Amino acid sequence: MAKRITRIVLTGGPAAGKTTLISRILKEFKQDDGWKVITIPETATELISGFGIRPFGNCVSMLDFQYFVIGDQLHKERLALKGAEMVPEENVLIIYDRALFDDKAYITDEQFRDILAYFGKTEQEVLAGYDAVLHLVSCAKGAEFAYNFGNEARYEPLETAREKDELTLRAWQAHPNLRVIDNSIDFEDKLRRGIRAIYDCLGMRAPQEVWHKYLIAMPDVEKLQTEFSASAIDMMQTYLVKTQPNVVRRIRQQKNGQEYLYFYTEKRYADKDAWETEKPITQKEYVQYLMEADTALHAVHKTKYRFAVDGRRFEIDVYPFSCERAIMRAELPEGKEAPELLPEIEILREVTGDPAYKNSSLAREQKL
């Protein structure tokens, strides 16, 4: 089988959900399933926060700053492509958190072409280097309650965020596979549409999205692994002390093949709305966040068994505090209430939407 490398840009205005979508991509396209996901972080933020090079405060002009950004971006893209060719996995996703044409939103078209020419590139050559572009609309347009200045290196007020969102969309409009993902429903729907768009780019059917949750008798986990080729994923979720009354913070450690991934999540509440954002973090950051753990709650440790039967996905969570029960999530056709594909699983009752079986409740009670 020939190696397949797919290059996808995530772009959009400030606070659009790009970082959270990257977290979902890492969970969706797993190493255990034969995928390798290579992410290229946002170059401008790295230069501002890491190197102190910023296009304001009399440091450098915006035009000079874009020379730094584009030069660094081209270098990282070359490294990512070389890395994609070297890894053993046959299916590789390169995910760009913003890319070269984002810089066009901050300078004139002529200046952008001049900088590309300086590096020996044309606009057509650059666009051809990306298989798809997903423009996530800033929550400053349609989900204002969730707009927060989370990226300290890139602080922008609401009106500026809206303007930058429009300029960024204009910058990428020449790409033949540009998808716009707005805030028309809610954030969870926005993320699902982002994942579906990636499956479309891959020419693959996106998995069904109607999930049901069941309380089940403890299954034979060895049989899940031998008969259904279930992959076992070790996970630990820790809730952090609140720094704002309407924000729930948590961190997660998750095994991915032979490696571990780490995530930081915030869930913000405003009236009846909720907006959950998530970002990958380093092991060092994870350990630092552990110092902020809410000692009134337990860390939720579980082993998640993922498998598919006749094209439908199942997940069974086994907790160390319960020897007799587990939680199963099943992907079912709309209108179907209970899975019939697994007669060896004893369903006790459906608990979809039941708050007693959410992780936050399990962190308090430690029982099923």
Per DSSP, the residues of 233-297 read: EEEEEEEB--SSTTEEEEEEEEEETTEEEEEEEEEEEETTEEEEEEEEE-HHHHHHHHTTB-TTS
Q: What are phi and psi of 308, to 5 degrees?
A: -130, 145
What string of H, E and C letters represents the secondary structure of 152-174? Answer: HHHCCCHHHHHHHHHHHHHHHCC
pLDDT at 218: 96
Confidence band for 153, pLDDT divided at 50, 70 and 90: very low
Number of H helices, E strands in the chain: 10, 14
Beta strand 273-281 with 300-309 is unpaired
Determine the average pLDDT of the residues in 341-359.
89
> What's the confidence (pLDDT) of residue 344?
82
CA–centroid distance for 350 within its chain: 28
Q: How far apart are the first and last CA of the chain?
A: 45
Residue 342: pLDDT band by 50, 70, 90 thresholds? Answer: confident
Per-residue model confidence as pLDDT tens digits over 175-224: 999 999 988 777 888 888 999 999 989 988 887 667 899 999 999 999 88
Residue 276: per-residue pLDDT: 80
pLDDT digits (tens, 9 = 90+) for 255-279: 877 788 899 998 888 777 777 888 8
pLDDT for 122 beyond 50: yes
| Predicted pLDDT at 38 | 96
In 3D space, the residue among 272, 117, 109, 118 whose CA is nearest the CA of residue 186 turns out to be: 272
pLDDT at residue 186 in the model = 77
The pLDDT, as a whole number, for residue 151 is: 46
Over the stretch 39-98, which tens digit does the pLDDT of each residue have?
A: 999 998 888 877 777 776 667 889 999 999 999 999 999 999 999 999 999 999 999 999
The conformation of residue 100, written as its DSSP 8-state character, comes to G
Rg of the Cα trace of the chain?
22
What is the pTM for the complete model shown?
0.72
- What's CA 81's distance to the chain center, in Å? 21
| pLDDT at res. 316 | 95
Alpha-carbon torsion angle 76, 79, 81, 83, nearest 10? -130
pLDDT in the model for residue 155 = 56
CA pair distance 33, 43, nearest whole angstrom: 29
What is the C-alpha to C-alpha distance for residues 294 and 242, in angstroms, rounded to an integer?
Answer: 8
297 vs 341, higher pLDDT: 297
